[in-house]
Amino acid sequence: MKHSIKIILIEIVLIIASLLCLFLYKINYYAYLVLLVLTVIGLYLFLKSPKRNERFNNDINLIIIICILFYYAITNFIGFFSGFYYSGYSKEFLGILLNIVSSVIIIGSIETIREILIKNYAYHKSIVLLTPIVCLLLELPSIINFSLYTTKVDMFNVFINLIIPNLIKNITLTYIVFKANKKSSMLYQFLITIPNFFLPVFPNLGDFFSIIANISLPVIVLIVGINVTTVKFATVTNSRLLGKSSKLEIAFQALLILIVIGTLYLTSNMFRFSSLAIGSNSMAKIINKGDIVIIDKKSRKINEGDVIAFEQGGRIIVHRAIEILEDNGEKVYITKGDANKDSDGWTAGDRNLVGKVLLKIKWLGWPTVALSELISG
């Protein structure tokens, strides 16, 4: 019990120190790398050598490899339809080498700290709960520069797009280390990090689906890992009871799968129905900024008064068709935003028509809109 309390106190100290370095002292990148290495050395000297459990190591490694390969396959397949964007990482040999070395230091240090904390002969609920938070805070300086984010919208955007996905990832990595060891968690980290330094392009999934993809991957690894290790443990102990998932677990997994499939369907633009985040208040009161609309791309029966989505100047606009004319056998739509005084200064033809808006979902598009505005300045 005393040993557990000592580890909990160490984790609290690490949390406080990380917050001070992030927001008060704002250390530079190289000082951050040095502090990570010194933290690993200090924990090795202060705590006992971690206890390793190799029983599920091979199973966990196989799950990680299969899930990440499927992740790359699916996202790149979608990229053939949604497009790709060029990598911002240096493609010079020295630049690639520096990126790899710094990633090895960060990942190796954090995963070593995770293993020391979670497998140190002191299994306690508080340790299990605090460890993902500790590792998240230790990782944040490598992925977020908080000095660039000053407004409430910026911080909300950081929370939704970066902190939540990385917290979920750290929960999964903590489970991986608990069931296997740091080699398995490092395998996960390297497979999703190192390829970025070599690949020339990345699939342009869209901001909303990128968030879903970054959350779904660790959640799926966690769910599959729990099921596989539970079944294997039940087989080893000759207990059927331990091998059965509860109805609640089955319902949660089914719901997660439905959410992932539904999100993929709506954001991939490969099927009849697609989603779009609204970035302005031109349709305010009916459709507000930050809402998501569902578009029926096959609907061509447009009547006056229908809200339609159409392409204009390289972007998709959602406005109401206030008048429908014909020009050489082609329908031409005169459109207007409900909140605008005048009609639009253009006409949209059938060639520009994306589809008819069926319904809206309030507020769900705010992460996408905030990130888009942040990038565009």
Q: What is the pLDDT of residues 303-332, one digit of tens each?
A: 999 999 999 887 889 999 999 998 887 889
- How confident is the model over 146-183, as pLDDT tens digits? 666 556 656 666 777 788 889 999 999 999 988 888 99
For range 15-33, the mean pLDDT: 82
Same domain, 323 and 247: no
Q: Which amino acid does the sequence have at 67?
A: C
Same domain, 303 and 224: no
Domain endpoint, select from 267, 302, 334: 267
Residue 268 confidence (pLDDT) above 60: no
The DSSP annotation for 312-336 comes to ETTEEEEEEEEEEEEETTEEEEEEE
Residue 240 confidence (pLDDT) above 50: no
Same domain, 179 and 307: no
For range 285-310, the mean pLDDT: 89
Which pLDDT does position 95 carry in this prediction? 86
Residues ≥6 apart with Cβ < 8 Å to 120: 3, 7, 47, 48, 50, 51
Residue 283 confidence (pLDDT) above 90: yes
Q: Is the dihedral angle over the CA atoms 173, 176, 182, 188 positive or is it negative?
A: negative
Partnered with residue 331 across adjacent β-strands are 326
375 pLDDT tier (thresholds 50, 70, 90) = low
Same domain, 92 and 226: yes
| Per-chain mean pLDDT for the chain | 81
Range of the domain at 309: 273-376
Same domain, 160 and 292: no
Same domain, 285 and 226: no
Query: Closest Cα to residue 114, out of 61, 174, 53?
Result: 174
- Spacing of C-alpha 60 from chain mean position: 21
Give me the CATH number covering residue 337: 2.10.109.10
List the structure tokens of 336.
Answer: 């207007």
Domain endpoint, select from 234, 267, 300: 267
Residue 220 confidence (pLDDT) above 70: yes
Residue 282 confidence (pLDDT) above 90: yes
Residue 211 confidence (pLDDT) above 70: yes
Q: Which amino acid does the sequence have at 35?
A: L
Which pLDDT does position 235 carry in this prediction? 58
Name the pTM for this structure: 0.62
Residue 302 confidence (pLDDT) above 50: yes
Which pLDDT does position 4 carry in this prediction? 77
Residue 333 confidence (pLDDT) above 90: yes
The whole-angstrom separation of Cα 192 and Cα 176 is 15
Which pLDDT does position 239 carry in this prediction? 46
Which pLDDT does position 301 carry in this prediction? 85
Domain endpoint, select from 244, 267, 290: 267
Same domain, 76 and 211: yes
For the ranges 6-10, 78-82, 299-303, 342-346, the lowest mean pLDDT is seen at 78-82
Same domain, 225 and 297: no
Residue 41 confidence (pLDDT) above 70: yes
54 pLDDT tier (thresholds 50, 70, 90) = low
Which pLDDT does position 245 carry in this prediction? 47
- How confident is the model over 64-120, as pLDDT tens digits? 998 988 888 888 777 766 677 777 787 788 888 998 999 999 999 999 999 988 877
